[in-house]
Chains A and B, each alone.
Chain A
Amino acid sequence: MSKQTVVKNVVCPFCGCLCDDIEIYVDLKENKIVETANACVLGTAKFMSANNVSHRITTPMIRENGKLKEVSIDKAIEKAAQILVDAEWPLLYGWASTECEAQSVGVELAEEVGGCIDQTASVCHGPSILGVQDIGLSGATLGEIMNRADLIIYWGCNPVHAHPRHMSRYSVYRRGFFTERGVKDRLMVVVDPRETHTAKLANLYIQPKPGADFELITAIRTVLAGNELFIDEIGGVSKEEIIELVNILKNCKLGIVFFGLGLTMSRGKHRNIDIALSLVRDLAAFTKFLICPMRGHWNVTGIGQVLAWQTGYPFAVDFSRGFPRYGPGEFTSNEVLARGEVDAALVIAADAAANFPLQAAKKLAEIPLIAIDPHQTPTTELADVLLPCSIAGIEAEGTGYRMDGVPIRVKKVIEAPEGCLSDKEILERLLAKVKELKAKKKA
């Protein structure tokens, strides 16, 4: 048997929970992950994906006559730099599944090429950011919630599927300092148009019609303010259910609303977030109440932070005039692609071709596209330059931000396959090459 070792307290680089108690069994001789302990099925799939060579990209490629051809890393970086320098307004998109240190270099690269930089939040919690900028957010760390919250509300999210360990690590089931009996000390409420697997675990389940969140929350705020409802049903929810819910909200010791894409993607978008944040603000008159977005990718909170430090804005930032300008709806990826405004794109740590609506995704096939990804994806299928990278959080270390905004250092567990540089290294080399080509162009 070859030599095995256990790496303890590994941070999982999958979802915004950033669980930091994972144990990874590594075969040192083969440089392989053998087994994981404590991780959920999603985390395990991600750790194991580092092993599978069949869908792993390990050589840089350039498209020639419609086919991808293997080239050296220097040649691929030069070609990528040339695309960015030649473009009038390139889009630099993604950033959610890589570490803050790489993101930071990415922002500099965007400034250098006068491009538009946007992150996956624009198709995820972008409306939440807009809502928070309008109203403000009463937040806390997940640790506080674990220790104190006796009312947990999941609104428009399905943690059983998307954040499988959220309930056991941070909310419903976890025993905390003031909630020492765990689930017995808590009440769980789920609001979702489908009776999801999360909803089936709830003490109270409310089933509104799709897209009726705004009117439902308005009705809740109305009752909370002491007014009477004059209609019997709002958005598919009965008046009695709303009154029952308001009583629950008012009488808890500390309540928390975890909200997901059910609010951000439905009709109303950021207005749904505005009103949810306002409801939590109203509830502060009665008891302690908090709210937290269920962030998807492990470091999507991080790119918001990095962009905000370096440019002043969390997403949808344009550098075409030499200084950062903020424009959700104008500089967000879907708009700049669908309108055909950008003439090149760099996609890193995300899969734009699979996750954008067709009208925007197919534009990626029409413009020069640089993809930085460890795996084959629909985006890499469309790429003109393909740069293989190591997997951040498994083969490269760095900083990630948990969904509540707590920075956590992710670890390197195994070595990357030969020839796969880290995202940060690739971006640094790309940035240096861009500067070199720009200097040549000037001279």
Chain B
Amino acid sequence: MGIKKTKKVTLLTGRSIEQGVSLEGEKLTRGYVLSTGICEIDPEDMKELGIYDGDTVIVKTNHGQVLVSGIESTQAPHRGIVFIPMGLYANAVINPETDSTGMPSYKGVEAVIEPAPNERVLAPKALMKKIMPLKK
């Protein structure tokens, strides 16, 4: 115990109904954090990582890293696959490569997830402040 475990996963992003509800005017509120600042993980993978529903995890890819709440997926089984609803949090880590089509690779990004028990998921404005330059 006490040893940090990490897991290699494939990251998918996309719509969820909670994300859809929160996008109408709630994008800078707590509702947006609860609906998009999450990562749906297969329950078996959660056991392997030693985390419970709602524990903070850090998702790292070659393109960035972001803190999100690990949520037990109700759309399982999908061992080795994690899902972050589309939005600010997902877009901090997805692959911007478009293969000259205009479409970034929002699905199928190689990622590593790691429990982050001492960290908290940032609010949308705080996340923007951290990852984007300030407007002058």
A357 in contact with B63 (CB, 8 Å): yes
- A353 and B125 alpha carbons, distance in the complex (Å): 12
Tell me if B34 is interfacial: C-beta within 8 Å of chain A: no
CB distance from B46 to the nearest CB of A (A): 15
User: Scoring A residues 345 to 381 as 1 if CB is less than 8 Å from chain B, else 0, what string do you get?
Assistant: 0000001011111111110011000000011111001
Within 8 A of B (CB), among A181-239: 193-197, 199-200, 207, 210-211
Q: List 22 A-B contacts (CB under 8 A).
A: A45-B24, A49-B24, A55-B28, A66-B136, A160-B17, A161-B17, A264-B103, A265-B108, A329-B100, A332-B98, A353-B132, A354-B87, A355-B91, A357-B106, A362-B131, A362-B132, A365-B135, A374-B25, A378-B124, A381-B125, A382-B128, A382-B132
CB distance from B135 to the nearest CB of A (A): 5
Name which residue of chain A comes closest to B109, CB basis.
A210
B125 in contact with A329 (CB, 8 Å): no
A265 in contact with B107 (CB, 8 Å): yes
B74 in contact with A197 (CB, 8 Å): yes
Q: Which residues of A contact B133 (CB under 8 A)?
A: 362, 365-366
Tell me if A262 is interfacial: C-beta within 8 Å of chain B: yes
CB distance from B17 to the nearest CB of A (A): 4
Q: Which residues of A contact B77 (CB under 8 A)?
A: 195
Q: Which residues of A contact B128 (CB under 8 A)?
A: 353, 378, 381-382
A333 in contact with B28 (CB, 8 Å): no
- The 4 A-B residue pairs with the shortest CB-CB distance, nearest first, are A332-B102, A329-B100, A49-B24, A357-B96
Q: Which residues of A contact B25 (CB under 8 A)?
A: 49, 52, 55-56, 374-376
Within 8 A of A (CB), among B98-125: 98-108, 124-125
Segment among A19-27, A100-108, A121-129, A251-259 that sits at the interface with chain B: A121-129
Given known A161-B17, A376-B27, contact A262–B103 (CB-CB < 8 A)? no
Assuming A162-B14, A265-B106, A357-B94, what are 14 further A-B pairs, CB within 8 angstroms? A63-B135, A126-B102, A164-B17, A197-B74, A197-B75, A199-B75, A266-B108, A329-B100, A334-B103, A351-B27, A357-B95, A361-B91, A362-B132, A377-B27
- A66 and B129 alpha carbons, distance in the complex (Å): 13
CB distance from B60 to the nearest CB of A (A): 14
Within 8 A of B (CB), among A286-333: 296, 315-316, 328-330, 332-333
Q: Which residues of B contact A330 (CB under 8 A)?
A: 100
Q: Which residues of B contact A266 (CB under 8 A)?
A: 105, 107-108
Interface residue tally on B, bucketed by range:
35 or more
- A335 and B100 alpha carbons, distance in the complex (Å): 8
Name which residue of chain A comes closest to B127, CB basis.
A378
Q: Which residues of B contact A118 (CB under 8 A)?
A: 102
Interface residues of A (CB under 8 A from B): 14, 41-42, 45-46, 48-49, 52, 55-56, 63, 66, 118, 122-123, 126-127, 130, 158, 160-162, 164, 193-197, 199-200, 207, 210-211, 261-262, 264-267, 269-270, 296, 315-316, 328-330, 332-335, 338, 351, 353-362, 365-366, 374-378, 381-382, 384
- A361 and B134 alpha carbons, distance in the complex (Å): 13
Q: Which residues of B contact A315 (CB under 8 A)?
A: 102
Name which residue of chain A comes closest to B102, CB basis.
A332
